[in-house]
Structure 1
Amino acid sequence: MIRLRHFILRNRYLGTSAFGTVRETVLLRNRPGMVLLAVMAMLVCGAIQAQEALRIAAIVNEEVISAYDLGARTAMLLAFSQQADKAETRRRLAPQVLRSLIDEKLKMQEAKRLSIRVGKSDIERAISQLELQNGLPKGGLDAFLSQNGISRSVLIDRIEAGIAWIKVVNRRLRAQISISGEQIDEMLAKIEKNKGKPEMLVAEILLPVDNPEHESEIGLLANRLVQQVKGGAAFTSLAGNFSQSPTAAVGGDLGWIKQGQLGGKLDATLAKLQPGQISNPIRTLAGYHILLLRERRTDPGAGSADITVSLQQLFIPVPKNTDPATQTAQMELAMSMGQKAKNCQDMKKLSEELDSPMSGSLGRVKIDSLPIELRTEVQDLAVDKASRPIRTNDGFIVLMVCEREKDSTDVQRRKVEQLLLDQRRSILARRYLRDLHRAAFVDVRL
C-alpha cells in the first residue's frame, strides 16, 4: 500500500530544509520578487521528489511495491549489515531487495486468502527474539532503528510477512509431515555417537533455483552476497533478508554440525574452510548455498547446547570515529564495572547507574540462540561471574549468567523432532512459494 500522505509530508520537509527558513525570511524582506521564484522552485523540487518516491518498482497481483518501499527496505538492510549507505551499494542491492519484497507480497497475499492474521503479540515476540540474537536488551532494537533513521514499520512489515508465511506453511503442510519415535531415537543416537569428534559451527544462505530461466540471475545474486560479506556486510543480516532456508529466522545459523552431515559438495567445501571464512556459491540440486564456518571444536555430546541461561548485560558505548585513547578508556571502564559486580543484583544496580537502554536484563535465553561472540563467552561462564569486556560495533558488553538450567530428556527429544520437522517443511515450503510465483502476475518496472 502506498502512503500518499507520508510522501507529501516528507517532501515538504525536504523542500523546506533545502532552502532554509532563515534564508526565506531574508528574501521575503529584501527581495519580494524572489519569493515567488523560491516558492516555485521548492514546489518543483518537492513534486519531483514525491514523483520519484511514488514511482512503481513492481506490481504483484495488482498490489504495488513503490520506489519508496524499496529504498526504505534497502536502508534497513544497509544498517543491519553494517554497510556504508552509498549510491553504488544501493544500486547493487536493489534487485536483491526487490526480489525479497516480491516474495513477501506473495506470502502475505496467500495468508490473506487463507484468512491468516498476525497478532501484535506475535510481532512483539519476534522483536524480543531479534534483540536476544543480537545481544540487545528489551527496547534495544527500537533504539537501533531510531539511531539509523529507520521507521519501525519497515521492520514490522518484514517480520509480519515472515510470521504469516510460517503460519501458512504450518496450516497447509504440517499434516503432510510425520516424524516417528524411531527417527528421533536414530538422531539422538547419532548425536551421542559423535561425542568427542570434531564438529563445526556453520551458518548458511540458501537461494533456491525453482525455474531454469532464473539460473543466471540467482547465481549472480549469490556471488554478490559473497562479495558483500567479504566487504564487511553482516552475514546474519544478509541471511535474514535473502536466504530461503528456515535458518533465515536466526541469521542463517545451522548450529554445530558434523563432517558428513550436510553431504556431497557442501561437506567437501566445509572441510577446506578455516574458521571465519565464507565459501563461494555452491550449486546443488536445491539451488545455491553459501556457507560460513564460524568455529571448530570437539563435540561434547548430546545435551551440551540444551542449556537455558538468565543473563544481565552492561553496555558501555563507544561512538563511531572515537579516538584510540577514548576507546581504551571505555574498555577500562567496562572492565572496572565488571570487577565491581559480584552477583546479578550488583549488575542490575550498575545498569541503572549507566542509564543506558542497552544495559539490563536479557531474560532467559538458549545458549545456542546467542550470537557466536556472546555464545563463546557465556557457555563456560560461571554463575554470578562477570565476563571480560566484549567488543561490539557500538561499544563494549559485559555479561553475567544469573541462572543456568539444562533441558530434560523430553525437551531434547522435542528439539530433535522439531529439527527434523523443520528440515522437511523447508523443502515443501520452497515448492509452495515456487508455485505461488508461477501462478502470480509480477511486473517489475525498475
Structure 2
Amino acid sequence: MSASFQSQGGSLKPGRKAWVKIAAVFCLLIGLAAGAPAALAQDELKIAAVVNDDVITQLDVFARLRAAMLSARLQDTPENRQNLLPNVMRSLIDDHLKAQEAKAQGVTVGDGEVNARIAGLAGRNNMSREDFESMLASNGILVSALADQIRADIAWSRLVQRKLRATIRITDAEINESLARAKSARGKNEYRLSQIFQAIDSPKDAPTVQQATQRLLDQLQSGADFASLAQEFSQDTSAANGGDIGWIRADEADPAVAAELARLGGGPEVKGKLIGPVQGTGGYYLVRIEDVRQATDSAVAPGSVHLIRLLWPLAPNASEKEVQSAQEQADGFAGKAAHSCQEFQTLAEDAASARFDDLGRVPVDDMPPEIRNMVMTQQVGEPSNAIRGDGGVAIFVVCDRGDTNGEVSRVAIADRLAAERLETLARGYLSDLRRAAYIDIRL
C-alpha cells in the first residue's frame, strides 16, 4: 500500500517520502526468515515503525511477510522477501491507519466476526480451525497477526459504508446514461477482470508506486497467485474478492486500462493476459483478463428490493414534541451495530415503542423519492438513517437487490454506479489519512 513520506532525522513528516529506509531491514528480515532463532528472539519486539500512536514491531513485519508469501504460493527466498517487503510495510501502515480511523469513528468489530472469517479461511483450505492455526504457526505466522489484519479490513469496510455511502446520490439521468452506453455497446467486447490497484497520494510518489507495482508483477510472473496478492496488497474494495471486479465493458474501465484492452482485442487468446503496470486515475493498475464475451442488449426492468422497516408511528396531527421524540429514538437506534436483516430484526425486539415490518419485495417505482434513492445506494444489511414519512419516522434495511426473471434492473445499475463512486471516495479517504499521518520508520 502506498504512502508518501520523507526521512527527516528519523521521523516522517506528513506528505513526504521515506520508503528508502525500508531497504535497511532487508538483511535483518532475510536473516530472521532464514532461521536465526536467537536473532528473532532478540529483535522481534524492536520497533519497525510508528504510525501516529501505534507501533509496528519487526515481528509484525516478519509475520506479514511470511503470510504474504504463503498465501501467494511463493517460495521463501531472499529475492522474494526483498521484492515483497516494501509492499508489506505499506500494507501494515495502511492497516494501522484504517484501524485508528475506525476506532475514532466508533466502528467496532466483534471477536465473533473475526473468528468466523478465520474459520472460513480454514474451511477454504480444507482444514479444521486447529489444523489451520498449526499450519500458520509452523510457517512463522501468528494467528493474532492474522486476526488484526482481518479486524482492520472489516472495520474499514464498515466505516466506508457508514460514513460515505449515505452521501451518494444516483439520479435517473445517470441510470439512463448508463443504459444508453450499454445499448450502444451491443456486440462489443465485455471483459471479466481482476485488478490490483496501488494509489498515488502525490505526483512525486509516482515512480515509487510504479516500482512497487512492478515488483508485484514480477511476483505474478514468477508464479504468485493473483487473487492472494490482490487480497493482500490491492488498495481498493475489490481486494476483499481477490481483485475480482466482475464483467465490464471497456468504456467502464479506467481510460488507461481501456486503451490496453482495445489494443489486445477480444479473442480467446487474451484470457489470462496481464496488463500493467498502467498509470490510471489515482494510481497504478495491474489487471488480469479472466474471460471475454460479447455484450448483449438485455431488457431492463424497474427492479425491486426486499425491505424490512422499523417504524415509530406518528398520527397526522402529531405534536412537535412527539415528532422530536420519535426522531430521537430512531436516530439512536440507527447507530446500532447490525449488518444483516436478521441482526436488525433481533435488535428491533428492544424497540418497544416501534413496530417492525417485513415489507417483502417492493417495486422501486412504488416508493417515495427519498426511499427510492436510499434503497438504490444503501449497503445491503446496514440500517439506513432515520427517515420521516407520512406514517412516522422509520429506519429501513435492504435485505437484497436480487433481480428476478434474469432481467437487468435499474436498481442493479444504480447499485453498480454507487459502488464505483464509493470506491473513488474510499480511495480519497485513505489517501487523506496517509497525508495527515505521522509515521516514523525506525529500521
1:342 equivalent in structure 2:
none
Alpha-carbon distance in 1 for matches of 2:116, 2:404: 24
Greater shift, 257-266 or 215-224, is seen at: 257-266
Q: Deviations over 1:165-190 (max 9, x none)?
A: 12222232223211234434544565
TM-score for the superposition, normalised by structure 2: 0.60
Which position in structure 1 is the counterpart of 2:279? 283
Give how far 1:160 is off.
1.0
Q: 1:269 to 1:153 in 2, by over 3 A?
A: same
Aligned residues: 300
Residue deviations 1:203-243 (CA, integer Å, cap 9, x gap): 11111111233222111101111111111011111111111
* 140 and 271 in structure 1: CA distance in 2 versus 1, 3 angstrom threshold: farther
Provide the rounded CA distance (Å) in 1 between the counterparts of 2:202 and 2:194.
Answer: 25
Residue 226 of structure 2 corresponds to 235
Contact 2:274 2:289 in 1 (8 A): yes
- Aligned with residue 422 of structure 2, among 417, 422, 425: 425
* Cα distance between partner residues in 2 of 1:141 and 1:178: 42
Retained in 1: the 8 A contact 2:220–2:226? yes
| Rounded Cα–Cα distance in structure 2 between residues aligned with 1:244 and 1:269 | 21
Pair 1:434 & 2:431 matched: yes
CA separation in 2, counterparts of 1:269 and 1:141?
Answer: 43
The 3 A distance-change label for structure 1 pair 438 and 414 is same
Do the aligned partners of 2:84 and 2:216 also contact (CA within 8 Å) in 1?
no
Tell me the amino acid that sits aligned with residue 432 of structure 1. Answer: Y
Q: Alpha-carbon deviation of 1:420?
A: 1.6
* 2:216 counterpart residue number: 225
**2-structure distance, mates of 1:145, 1:300:** 47
1:19-78 deviations in whole A, cap 9, x for unaligned? xxxxxxxxxxxxxxxxxxxxxxxxxx8664322211221111131111111111111111
Q: In 2, distance between residues paired with 1:233 and 1:219?
A: 19
C-alpha separation between the residues in 1 aligned to 2:186 and 2:424? 29
AA in 2 matched with 1:275? K
- Shift of the 112–297 alpha-carbon distance from structure 1 to 2, 3 Å rule, reads same
CA drift at 1:445: 1.8
CA displacement at 1:112 relative to structure 2: 1.2
Residue 428 of structure 2 aligns with an amino acid whose one-letter code is R
- CA spacing shift, 1:110–1:303, aligned 2, 3 Å: farther
Identity %: 37
SS in 1 for 2:288: strand
Query: Is structure 2 residue 404 aligned with structure 1 residue 408?
Result: yes
Query: Cα RMSD over matched residues?
Result: 3.1
Unmatched 5+ stretches in structure 1: 1-17, 19-44, 305-405
Deviation sequence 1:330-371 (CA, Å, 0-9, x none)? xxxxxxxxxxxxxxxxxxxxxxxxxxxxxxxxxxxxxxxxxx
Q: Is the 8 A contact 1:207 1:218 kept in 2?
A: yes
Structure 1 residues 222, 263: closer, same or farther in 2, change over 3 A? closer
Partner of 2:72: 81
- The CA deviation at 1:442 is 0.2
Structure 2: where are the runs of 5+ without partners?
A: 1-34, 265-269, 301-401
Q: How far apart are 1:417 and its partner, in Å?
A: 2.8
Stretch of structure 1 that moved more, 235-244 or 46-55: 46-55
Q: What is the alpha-carbon distance in structure 1 between the residues aligned to residue 413 and residue 436 of structure 2?
A: 35
Q: Which residue of 1 aligns with 2:200?
A: 209
Listed as ranges, the matches of 1:359-374 within 5 Å are: none
User: Structure 1 stretch 292-301 or stretch 144-153: which is displaced more?
Assistant: 144-153
Task: Spell out the pairing of 1:160-239 with structure 2 (5 A cutoff).
Answer: 160-188=151-179, 190-191=181-182, 194=185, 196-239=187-230
SS at match of 2:124: coil
Matched with 1:99 is 90
1:445 is the counterpart of 2:418: no
Where does 1:39-118 land on structure 2 (aligned, <5 Å)? 48-118=39-109
Aligned-partner Cα distance in 2 for 1:100–1:171: 23
Equivalent position of 1:322 in the other structure: none
Which protein has the bigger helix share?
Answer: 1
Compute the displacement of 1:195 (Å): 5.1
Alpha-carbon distance in structure 1 between the residues aligned to 2:180 and 2:111: 40
Q: Any idea what SS the aligned residue of 2:193 has?
A: strand
Secondary structure of the structure 1 residue equivalent to 2:41: helix
- TM-score, normalising length: structure 1: 0.60
